[in-house]
Each structure stands twice: as C-alpha cells, then as structure tokens.
Structure 1
Amino acid sequence: MLSGYYEDIEIGTTREFGSYTVEKEEIVSFAEQYDPQPFHVDESAAEESIFGELVASGWHTAAMTMRMLVDNSPDDSRAMGAVGVDELRWNEPVRPGDTLSVRTEVMDKEPWDDDLGLIRSRTTVFAGDTEVMGMTGRVLYQRRVE
C-alpha cells in the first residue's frame, strides 16, 4: 500500500521492501490446505516433477506477497481495498529457503467516484535477483473531501 490519500500518490512512485524466507513446512502446510498437488506436498513426487524438488504454490507466493504488502504499508495509507489484480504471472517457482522481496511501481491512476480513486501498481516479487512473480494491482484509495 502507498502513503496518503489518492491525491498524494504520484505515477512513477516506486517502493522496495520485504525479506521473507520461505520454509519447507510452510509450503507443504499451505498446499495441503489449498493446492494439494504432488509437487507442493510430497518431496518424492516433487523430485519426479518438472521442478525436480518441492516448490511453493503460486497462490502461496501471492499470499506471502500480500503479507509483505500489508506489513510494509505506511500508517497513513488511505487504501480502502482492492478491486482486482491484472496480469498475474508466476515466472519462476519459489523453493524452500528462498528469501522474497517486493518492488512496487505506480503505473496510473484515475478517479473512481467522488470518494475514491483507483491506483494501478505493478508489483514484482523477487527471490534474490530472480523475478518469481508479477502482477498489477487495482487498489482503491480514499480521496480528500474538499
């Protein structure tokens, strides 16, 4: 999330943050509940998969990203919630021991109604220098009442 009201947010604003290390147990636990494919829950099966080892669900990667976005949201953010995500891509698998970080960039903005404005931000997730996930968030921000 970004700092301030809709009017305070400038196109081109970037932020970099996060340091979240992914644990094997977390990968398996998430996948057992939400995405129980063999390469997410069974190390032997994962070794025989195209990945060659256990990997996190893409949905788990998205959930970890959301956690980093919320944890690094400024206290004065006027974000009111998202109305969607465009162009979600899992570029590379996330593996146990990977440390994730996030970069966001404001792409554009437009009024939504009298009370809210829509901000489109590109979110890129990295494991080290490798881009593992990208998406464009569509988040509503409170507008100043004049």
Structure 2
Amino acid sequence: MSNKAFEDFTPGDVVEFHHVTVTEDDIIDFATDWDPQPMHLDEEAGKASILGGLTGSGWHMVCLLMRGMCDGFLLGSTSAGSPGVNEIRWLKPLRPGDELTMRYEVMSARTSKSRPGIGIVHFKFETINQNGETIMTMDNPIMFRRRETAEAGS
C-alpha cells in the first residue's frame, strides 16, 4: 500500500513503479478476449502486417500500465479518480518476451479551484522495454485528496 496523498507528488519527480514480462500467451489471451485483430493472434498474420510479427494490442499496453499504476502507487493512496486521459501514444510494438518497466514523471500539481480538498497531479507515464525503448506514453491527470482532508475523513 502506498499511502500517497497529493502532497507526495512534486513536479519533476521521475519514479519507476512497476515491472512486468509479457508472454506470447498473454498477448494472444488478451487479443482473443478484447482485440481479436489477426496481428495480435497469430505470428504469420503479424509477419504479413506492417508490424512484422505477433504484437500485443495497444489496449493491452494500456491495461498493463493501469495494473502497474494500481500495484505501484494508486492502491492505498488518496486517489479520487481521474477526469480522463489526455493522450496515449503507441510508439513501438509490444512483443512476446518484452520485459517492461513503467515510470511516471510529475509534470504539474495544483489544488483544485472548485474542490480545495483535492489536488490534481498531471503525469506523463512511459512504458519502456528491455532495450530501453519507450513503447508507449500516456498523458493523464489524476485527482488525489490532500493529506489534511484525507486524515480528517479517517
């Protein structure tokens, strides 16, 4: 459990928060349920595509990041949700055997004008493979209760 509150996020902070290895079965299982495009289900179909081989869905990458966020710092924090995602970029394919590192940079942090007990932290998330290549970025504000407000509600 992270116990992080709004005050724990400082602009400029860069934090690695999760690691995961993705298998061929992971890619095919996710695609079978959620994104059954041929390049996500079959190596030969992937080779015939512009991606050159079996690749994980971009939505699979987003789900891996979300799980990493929960395990890495959201669960047990004062998170109050998010107003949405500003941008997702899939920069390189997700491949079987990729060893992923997830990190965030705090771009800004401010107290909400309409709800002063809440702070809004603007994050840039990166998913990086074992070769040091950034394969996905996500620009995402997340709301956190401020510590004194969270403690008062306990």
Give TM-score scaled by structure 1 length.
0.90
From the superposition, tell whether residues 28 and 114 of structure 1 become closer, same or farther in structure 2 (CA, over 3 Å): same
Structure-1 residue corresponding to 2:73? 73
- State the alpha-carbon separation in 2 of the partners of residues 26 and 13 from structure 1: 31
Structure-2 residue corresponding to 1:27? 27
Residue 141 (structure 2) pairs with residue 130 (structure 1): no
- State the alpha-carbon separation in 2 of the partners of residues 75 and 90 from structure 1: 26
- State the alpha-carbon separation in 1 of the partners of residues 116 and 95 from structure 2: 44
- State the alpha-carbon separation in 2 of the partners of residues 45 and 8 from structure 1: 46
More strand as a share of residues: 1
Q: Deviations over 1:73-121 (max 9, x none)?
A: 1775211222211121000001000000011111012222132111101
From the superposition, tell whether residues 75 and 31 of structure 1 become closer, same or farther in structure 2 (CA, over 3 Å): closer
Q: Deviations over 1:32-76 (max 9, x none)?
A: 111111100122211111112100000000101111111111775
Written as runs of structure 1 = structure 2, the 5 A alignment for 1:46-57 is: 46-57=46-57
RMSD of aligned residue pairs (Cα, Å): 2.0
> Is the CA contact (8 Å cut-off) linking 2:14 and 2:106 kept in structure 1?
yes
Residue 40 (structure 2) pairs with residue 40 (structure 1): yes
The AA in structure 2 aligned to 1:83 is P
Structure-2 residue corresponding to 1:99? 99
Which segment is superposed worse, 94-103 or 5-14?
A: 5-14
Q: Structure 1: where are the runs of 5+ without partners?
A: none
Q: Partner of 1:95: helix, strand, or coil?
A: coil
Structure-1 residue corresponding to 2:144? 141
The AA in structure 2 aligned to 1:130 is E
From the superposition, tell whether residues 3 and 14 of structure 1 become closer, same or farther in structure 2 (CA, over 3 Å): farther
From the superposition, tell whether residues 75 and 91 of structure 1 become closer, same or farther in structure 2 (CA, over 3 Å): closer
Structure-1 residue corresponding to 2:16? 16
Alpha-carbon offset, residue 139 of structure 1: 0.4
Q: Structure 2: where are the runs of 5+ without partners?
A: none
- State the alpha-carbon separation in 2 of the partners of residues 73 and 17 from structure 1: 7
Give TM-score scaled by structure 2 length.
0.86
Question: Number of residues paired by the alignment?
Answer: 146
- State the alpha-carbon separation in 2 of the partners of residues 76 and 27 from structure 1: 29
